[in-house]
Chain A
């Protein structure tokens, strides 16, 4: 009865029936569908709201010129599906091989229509529960002690239908166009609506506001038919190949840089758009002036009384009048639908287009509200790929795993390995893992050592920003220390202005690996989990606080980190020294010798040979090992009759180290420097 009363009062209070789901996802774009996929696979009660009639409505309109700048690599020479995802920036994650983007387009830079088709298929083939034509126009909270997060999320759609959810996943992207207001901004056309037919620009002089890929894409389209194009924005042009940030200007769109630098009339200018003013003359030409002048002028006077910069400075750069001014300033998150109680706050500075979230992608203002997809890019803005499909497909999975642990007691997926597999498990992941590679410095693999360090748990793609809360978020314990495996660029390598082609930019020697510049794996070792305090106090530019030890696997030209001497050996030494053990492999014969001559066995013999899984090895291999001085061939001393050992005092361990014959790597060849 109480329950009925309660339910009754609930309905009465809001005046409408609620449709309840554990999870509500707003937006059926790539991240919303990605989240839906994981929820569906986990058998969760969820619904996706999409205001359009089909998924991916953003891609139905944008990019206006239809060329996606996310790469769709058909061939990598490898069959490893996980590895290939490193070079497939469009696919979402699923178990279905049909749903790989290369089956939808053969173009390296695919048409956006292919993305729309892909997302439609993704939603329908996987039977994701998407409620189309439902625009959520208001979100508010309802306090309830019983709720997962102490409150329910109440959503209202355009038809006043109400929905109630325990957890809200916001996957709305950033779709509200950024506009600037200045005198004369009414003459400015928006990227959203501007003509994409080059014919319409023939013989015109165009000013483009903005310096992002949309601005350059627009310029690229009309470059051949305009008189000239000028492009103005506050910031300098940042080239993605210099910054290693895919959101910066991609080479495919940079035709205007060419024509500018080759003095073919087009040009780039820097300036704050807020200070701009546009004046239209009688002929309909648009003149650039400064707000500064307009403020001082006599308002009653006509157009001719307005001071133009060229009146004072007769070689003022943009003194030529323009036919059109186009605004390509990007988009921002739609904050308008959230009730104040949700405290959805814009970020600070250049992140103000994104809502404030924690590194766990949970809103800073409201527990249980997670931001996915492009809108979650504040976590790694201008750093990694979290604002793009190839990045957020992994962060979405991470959020799903956090939720599974938090609400359903399903711990973060992990695999237990014996310690002998430590080097292998790391090498395997750094060579194929796509999540680590795309979401460098954001997602990390975690190795949790078990007591006595005889075994370890391997957790994949954990958000490194919440490392301190690892035990809470994953349901795993870190009693005996942990390794964090992450990919990094060299700290001072990337950036606008940096010459990324300087000589000796690549490091070839393993001993100088810490100076590697290109993306390479880095392994942090902590004897215990860092605290939140330590996380906050980490050095600038460091994804993690100071570890007890650190290892860099030297950058590799082929991103293939399987070289036995340059990659695996130094890694093994690092792991050995962290764990204070010997992680070498031994043939059964060596284990036999150790079994009879030492009270303890090295881990490889302990976990292999002693359990009847010794590596006998072929005759040829054992001979090679003997020739290398790493295995004594006692059969030889047998032939010599009395076989007195010359000077070895019997300890195989010493024998192993004393007799190693230097195998000098050809430093020049292993070095990827292109000098």
Chain B
């Protein structure tokens, strides 16, 4: 806002400067009181003065005196002094002597009397200033009374100078004063013409002029070439004040179209300074001439309302739509230029003329921009990593030749063909199942040539019947069918390794019944059964005596549940005792052989139910000091304990490993998961550290995280060695609350990442009759009011109106009852053959 104001102020002060640049004499008192001699001797050639003569104080002249006094200041700006001449009692000279002379004021230039004013013409400051200037600017401001006079003046001006034509309802008004004041400045530039005859106004093209208000027209006579035609006129639309007229004349004086070859943001013209918008016509080399004509046309239409500039796109590098053809720059600072695509010049004009429209368009634009911003906010941009990854991968042909496509017809017969049929149920439009399909192809590649295993897939989008029958309610689902009979649903990680291992382990019955002690030993060493020997796994061997059949059954059931995830063997021959004795357990017992039988752990079975056994086996399979990975974290998360993690860049050192193992094995707390993380193998660990410490700390770093309670993160002091005792005492301090957490995990909920399209609001905007939720508008509708019922409420009646309206308009012969009388009245009949 400051820029236009500055413009205003500067132009206004320019005006005042012009006015006051005429030096004044006398400054002590604006209204001077002089004797006649003093007065007449002080008159200088070319200086104007307004004087009135009085004998001391005549009471009737008092208000007049006051007004004259008030106008002194205003007139001073124009170099006119105001003097009260005190006539001596005895003076009977021209001005002092006659009684009626005392009722007048006299305007002198030098010592020449220009005009005498009756005091009743000088009723206020406006009238004084107006009349005085009017008298002084006799040549600059022509007064006309008839149309002929006006036309004469106009004709003489054509091709020479412009004309300012003003109508005021009466002289001596504020408007009159304003015109005169401006004429004082511009009188030499333009020819001013003044009238008080409303008829002249009518002839200037105003059909219904409001004769009570003053009007001002700028007549472009300078450029007029055709003498027969009246000069082009631009009416001023604002009230006639000095500032407005001044502004109008400034605008009329500005070039019609400014040619611009710079960034429109930097362009400034008199229009913008005066608080008016600037319209850019975006031009291209190819269309320059036409664009220029358009710009001039528009400029004439907008003269006085907005500036027009012709912007050559070829010269300016604009980052805007190619189809934009118009830009609008508003004087308000900070409002960016709007680039628009408009159909014709009328739109440009309405854009400016209709203030509301401008605002509306601006709003629209803003909305559009908002939308754009929202778009920039990525509302319609995929922010689902899986979906986006699949989209980016969709052009790649998947190596699916190893995977058999099953259909409704082939499904059941195929299951019978091989010992194990793995079926991936997926939907070809669903991203997660397509992601799994990609891993599945890798599995197929790994298992190529494996005996008795067939990999297949069913697209549930093609064959929903099969999927429903197989109870597939989510995508993806993987089932392994054994000889078309039993099937196991895969419930592990959707990863190549995990799935491959699951398929391989599923081939071996779980638990596997071991027949001899040699087999059992081999099983613990990981050598038996041979098909699993290449799979690194932990073996669970249940040792049962003949008396423990109940536990054995539970173990079998647990085996069914854990099938594919764990290898389980079972030994219950007579010499089971020998085996249990060897590992110092008494049956029923479990022997856990980790990493190829290097260590065998014996656990006595006390729990008898299968579920408990599953729980126990799962728990026992957890390592004491595991390397945490993306794949195995969930197992440890399940424990819902705090984590003590050693982050390491690569494999952890021997010393740290031993100390940590000691700590974990001691399990003095039994209440946390001690683990380590290899940043080389699990690079996402860096992301974890970054969240904890903003920067990656020096490695290795030991961190305590209360994942499930409070989320505090503590960092083991890096200056201390990672040794069991140090850690324990640190943990004590943590427990005592003596340490300050490095950070706390956000407990924020997972909110929608971005807003949705608010269609409800859009519909409301477009269809206002959509009632608000708790509407009382239709609250009194009678129940089940059928639309046909007469006197039904309006809203209900809207329903049939659509149909009936069309019929009423479109089919005049809707019913014959109406037609028959019309048959008699012939005038309309016979024209429409669609009527009877």
Contacts and interface: CB of A to CB of B under 8 A. Distances in A.
Interface of A: 78-82, 232, 234-236, 267-272, 274-276, 288, 290, 292, 309, 312-313, 315-318, 348-349, 415, 417-418, 421, 424, 427-428, 431-432, 492, 495-497, 510-511, 513-514, 536-537, 539-541, 546-552, 562, 564-565, 568-570, 572-574, 576-577, 580-582, 584-590, 592-593, 595-603, 609-618, 620-622, 624-625, 627-628, 630-635, 637-638, 642-645, 648-653, 656-657, 660-663, 665
B631 interface: yes
Report the interface size class on chain B: 35 or more
Interface string B657-686: 000000000000000000000011011111
A79 B388 CA distance: 28
B516 interface: no
- Give 10 closest A-B pairs by Cβ, nearest first: A616-B495, A275-B816, A562-B429, A576-B752, A634-B683, A630-B385, A582-B750, A585-B386, A650-B691, A624-B389
Contact of B435 (A275, A497, A539, A615): A615
Contacts of A546: 760, 770-773, 775
Given A495-B806, A539-B770, A656-B383, 4 more contacts: A577-B752, A596-B705, A644-B696, A645-B690
B759 A552 contact: yes
8 contacts: A290-B823, A514-B757, A514-B763, A548-B773, A592-B682, A610-B637, A649-B694, A663-B391
B803 interface: yes
A656 B754 CA distance: 11
B407 interface: yes
Given A599-B746, A613-B493, A657-B754, A271 B815 contact: yes
B819 interface: yes
Nearest to A575: B756
Nearest to B636: A595
B799 interface: yes
A312 B819 CA distance: 13
Contacts of A276: 816, 836
A631 B759 CA distance: 31
A541 to B, nearest CB: 6
Contacts of A651: 691, 746
Contacts of B389: 587, 617, 621-622, 624-625, 628, 630-631
A472 B475 CA distance: 32
A49 B435 CA distance: 55
A511 B442 CA distance: 39
Contacts of B819: 271, 275
B836 A618 contact: no
Contacts of A235: 807
Contact of B630 (A82, A290, A589, A663): A589
Interface in B769-791: 769-773, 775, 778-779, 781, 783-784, 786, 788
A587 B376 CA distance: 25
A428 B382 CA distance: 20
Query: Which of A511, A649, A651, A661 has its CB near the most chain B CB atoms (within 10 A)?
Result: A511
B493 A614 contact: yes
Contacts of A633: 683
A274 B816 CA distance: 8
Contact of B814 (A270, A541, A573): A270
A272 B783 CA distance: 32
B20 interface: no
B634 to A, nearest CB: 5
A78 B757 CA distance: 32
Contacts of A613: 491-494
A584 B384 contact: yes
A565 to B, nearest CB: 6
A417 B475 CA distance: 11
Interface in B364-396: 371, 376, 378-393, 396
Given A78-B462, A624-B388, A657-B753, A595 B432 contact: no
B802 interface: yes
A620 B434 CA distance: 13
A650 B833 contact: no
Contact of A634 (B384, B687, B778, B803): B687
A592 B633 contact: yes
B752 A600 contact: no
Contacts of A576: 752-753, 756
A110 B783 CA distance: 44
Contact of A616 (B630, B759, B788): B630
B687 A652 contact: yes
A337 B226 CA distance: 95
A312 B826 CA distance: 9
A421 B474 contact: yes
Contact of B634 (A288, A432, A614): A614
Contact of B688 (A348, A562, A597, A643): A597
Nearest to B439: A618
B820 interface: yes
A80 B458 CA distance: 12
A547 B492 CA distance: 40
A618 B496 contact: yes
Contact of A275 (B379, B388, B690, B820): B820
Given A272-B817, A642-B696, A547 B760 contact: yes
Given A612-B635, A624-B388, A638-B679, A573 B757 contact: yes
B378 A660 contact: yes
Contacts of A275: 815-817, 819-820
Contacts of A79: 407-408, 462-463
Contact of A624 (B393, B711, B757, B784): B393
A586 B770 contact: no
Contacts of A627: 392
Contacts of B708: 599
A210 to B, nearest CB: 15
Contacts of B815: 234, 271-272, 275
Nearest to B685: A634
B746 to A, nearest CB: 5
B829 interface: yes
A649 to B, nearest CB: 7
Given A599-B711, A615-B494, A565 B464 contact: no
A551 B756 CA distance: 9
A612 B492 contact: yes
Query: Which of A274, A315, A432, A564 has its CB near the most chain B CB atoms (within 10 A)?
Result: A564
Nearest to A623: B389
A585 B686 contact: no
B751 A580 contact: yes
Contacts of B737: none
A660 B383 contact: yes
A235 B811 CA distance: 8
Contacts of B751: 580-582
B299 to A, nearest CB: 34
A582 B696 contact: no
A616 B474 contact: no
B798 interface: yes
A573 B465 CA distance: 30
B816 A616 contact: no
Nearest to B396: A620
Query: Which of A232, A272, A602 has its CB near the most chain B CB atoms (within 10 A)?
Result: A272
A595 B810 contact: no
B427 interface: yes
B836 A431 contact: no
B322 interface: no
Interface string B487-510: 000011111101000000000000
Interface in B673-729: 679-680, 682-688, 690-692, 694-696, 705, 707-708, 711
Contacts of B816: 271-272, 274-276, 290, 292
A642 B698 CA distance: 9
A195 to B, nearest CB: 26
Contacts of B829: 313
A573 B783 contact: no
Contact of B382 (A349, A536, A663): A663
Nearest to B703: A596
